[in-house]
Structure 1
């Protein structure tokens, strides 16, 4: 890039333990053992206050993780394809994942990813410890979000949602895609125990984080901690759409 042409500045806002807006312009690269020909940035993590880790991955031609991602006894993983085409495998099954494709791996199952295309692939990658429940066990899930029908969010015709994982007690988390038509918003400012890591797929908006309105747009990452006020307005000419994680199906621990 060379020297900056103006004063150094950033749209990113960080409130450790509460929330964060991380703009792509400020991301730095991290070396993650097991990955090759990949440019990786760590987004949300316990150091920020999250109980999970989110990554933004640019996987070059021939890049991947031959050693596998996850696979530990308590760790579950998820990947969402933002751009490109990926060959994925888990539990002796293979998947071809294109844009909007995703793969969930339960604890003990390694996720293998490889870019077979000529172009770079862009991935939103996640890991988190699994909270077990007696008699319940999650399984490998794969699909493409573009093949899932939207449904109204809280009976609102201009806000729609997709669930990427089964609404089943075997799973202690889910991934969703939430989409706001231009000028649409949440029905109210939410305050809840769940935390989120969200990557904005399209559009622009204003996001309320801890009762502060912050401008957001495509390519931004948002971390929302437990009990932090949160809501969005979509602005501009296209839908404000993001993919995000949510912990669910478990009681609060003492």
Structure 2
């Protein structure tokens, strides 16, 4: 199996000689944030985090993401937080793309490296530190957990992509496969974060149109993606947000694998809005 790579932004700033033309797109159905946008000027900071900055890729916003937020965190040596999550209702996935991260959960330390995954349920007692000598970068996906009477909240766990066999899509001879960190039939989970891999030349051969909202961060390779009515080129370091029901398909461009980290909301009833009349 080819070595896995995990693209991570390093910031910087464009020179005055660079052209303004870029690939960034923001529409009512999708957004594309190219890797070149993730520069120093667009970083943010968080309360109670030391030696840390982040790129916000998506957040709940009218006309944009509705179910989740996604950050790329950048923590310098010695940095981190003893109070990382202010919202007791928020569940989290951490996925490391560079460096070494130490997560302490209920007093136990867990070392995470590129390819490491952690699920942290709502109200979990965790802290995070960079105890290494290099900058650590990781994705932090947050969602307000949807509690269901009679269904337990899932427990925290840690995993590594290298230890999980990708599940091939039927009829693709493994050219399109998904690395799943959670059993899709486990109703305790209301979000899935997976890694999708398409080998060179492989395709998603139809325009997927479904209720799940998506965040896609390209970890490796390049492809041409169909988003709503547009074809867009994407490469490692690019991020895509897809609204529910946005049609989507892609061709993997090669020469290596095309891989992305994928978020979607699952396993819950659709919330009903509006006001009942005649009552």
* Structure 1 position 73, deviation (Å): 3.3
Q: Which residue does 1:240 correspond to in 2?
A: 258
The counterpart of 1:249, out of the listed 267, 272, 278, is: 267
C-alpha deviation, 1:77, in angstroms: 1.0
Q: CA–CA distance in 1 between the matches of 2:106 and 2:265?
A: 24
Structure 1 residue matching 2:162: 3-state secondary structure: helix
Moved more, 47-56 or 140-149: 47-56
CA distance in 2 between partners of 1:156 and 1:53 (Å): 32
1:91 is aligned, of 84, 95, 106, to 106
Structure 1's unaligned 5+ residue stretches are none
Residue 200 of structure 2 corresponds to residue 185 of structure 1: no
Kindly indicate whether the alpha-carbon contact (under 8 Å) linking 1:77 and 1:111 is maintained by their aligned counterparts in 2.
no
CA distance in 2, matches of 1:246, 1:159: 18
Checking the alignment, whether the CA contact within 8 Å between 2:205 and 2:250 is kept in structure 1 is no
Q: Give the Cα–Cα distance (whole angstroms) in 1 for the partners of residues 264 and 25 of structure 2.
A: 21
Runs of 4+ in 1 over 6 A off after TM superposition: none
> Helix, strand or coil: the match of 1:32?
coil
Gap regions ≥5 residues in structure 2: 1-12, 273-279
Pairing of 1:90-239 with structure 2 (within 5 A): 90-136=105-151, 137-157=153-173, 158-167=175-184, 168-239=186-257
Q: Aligned residue pairs: how many? A: 252
How far is 1:2 from its partner? 6.5
- Is contact 1:68–1:110 with CA below 8 Å preserved after alignment? no
**Partner Cα distance (1:93, 1:106) in 2:** 16
Match of 1:10 among 22, 37, 40: 22
CA distance in 1, matches of 2:172, 2:15: 47
Deviation at 1:94, TM superposition (A): 2.1
Q: How far apart, in 1, do the equivalents of 2:21 and 2:212 lie?
A: 31
Shift of 1:25: 1.7
Per the alignment, residue 23 of structure 1 pairs with 34
> Could you tell me how far apart the structure 1 residues matched to 2:252 and 2:47 are?
38
Aligned partner of residue 241 in structure 1, secondary structure: strand
Establish whether residue 62 from structure 1 lines up as the match of residue 73 from structure 2: no
The separation in 2 between residues aligned to 1:179 and 1:118, in whole angstroms, is 31
On the 8 A contact 2:82/2:126 being kept in 1, the answer is no
Structure 1 stretch displaced more, 105-114 or 206-215: 105-114
Structure 2 SS opposite 1:245: strand
TM-score, normalised to structure 2, is 0.86
Shift of 1:165: 2.2
Equivalent residue number for residue 49 of structure 2? 35
Aligned to 2:276: none
Q: Distance in 1 between matches of 2:170 and 2:239?
A: 24
* Greater C-alpha Rg: 2
Superposition deviation, residue 174 in structure 1: 1.0
Deviation at 1:3, TM superposition (A): 3.5
